[in-house]
Structure 1
């Protein structure tokens, strides 16, 4: 399939670690629910929502092997790590719906799409994702706060 063996192994290993987080297995989530006295399934679902950005990381290993320092230079590896971290952050913003202020549904979709652009090793797609993040920062700073009387 053209995927390096280490990337395939990391893909499988990473998702094996997520078994402790996602229902119906969710050992970590169920233990947390037991400690807090909460509902185990609700805790499991909330943990999946909070960790949604982490589910994209294994695909980054496959689509961008520079993230694993395979056949690349140090400069490219550093760039890929930085843009991947920004992409994961943007997925978190899109999932939770909050950045500097609350993010509306339309902007959340745009931010999520821009975050997915940052998965590949393409520099131009990274710049498009960063441009969307910059636009979101500007929109969030300019947007006037809603006040109540």
Structure 2
């Protein structure tokens, strides 16, 4: 991850991918990761180099257009895209999301749980679901999201249960303040 981001810093998308793919992807493939998953992993993190400080070309360009502080814009972009930093790991640990060696039913389950897991990470990082979340709710939601990202049906069930509990707490709080 760090290698891909460092090698991708300050480069446009295509050269960033080409450099990281030629250096990092072969190492991942030798570790037993399927080639498609390895290249998508490398591609994602090479692209994230454009929004992560200290280089953050895309974030700094956006700050220039909006008149905002470049470093604050870069840090906010990382915060908003935190869920995206998890997606490449899903590709590596669960190739069913890439439709590799799987059935349609398993791919559908994995896709749905990954979407819900990434949404829960967004809830946890932003601190808002139906109402503002307390810190303990954010931590619990993040833990539930990590459970949903794995391919294990038992962990998925626990993650869904956590999501339901967090949303019920949020719904009660919203009703009591309305």
Size of the alignment, in residue pairs?
146
* Aligned-residue offset at 1:49: 0.5
Partner SS for 1:102: coil
Separation in structure 1 between the aligned mates of residue 100 and residue 50 of structure 2, nearest angstrom: 28
Residues 65-144 of structure 1 aligned to structure 2 (within 5 Å): 65-143=95-173, 144=176
Separation in structure 2 between the aligned mates of residue 3 and residue 21 of structure 1, nearest angstrom: 26
* Aligned-residue offset at 1:119: 1.4
Separation in structure 2 between the aligned mates of residue 34 and residue 114 of structure 1, nearest angstrom: 37
User: Is residue 2:44 matched to residue 1:17?
Assistant: no
* Aligned-residue offset at 1:56: 0.4
- TM score, norm. by length of structure 2: 0.79
* Aligned-residue offset at 1:29: 0.5
Partner SS for 2:76: helix
Partner SS for 1:118: helix
Unaligned 5+ runs, structure 2: 1-30
Task: Name which of 142, 145, 149 aligns with 2:177.
Answer: 145
Kept in 2: contact 1:90–1:115 (CA 8 A): yes
Q: What CA deviation, in whole Å up to 9, does each residue of 1:53-88 have, x standing for no partner?
A: 110000100111101111001111111111101000
* Aligned-residue offset at 1:129: 0.8
Higher-RCO chain (CA-CA 8 Å, sequence separation at least 6): 1
Kept in 2: contact 1:63–1:119 (CA 8 A): no
CA RMSD of aligned residues (A): 1.1
Please identify which structure carries the higher helix content: 2
* Aligned-residue offset at 1:24: 1.3
**Alignment partner, residue 34 of structure 2:** 4
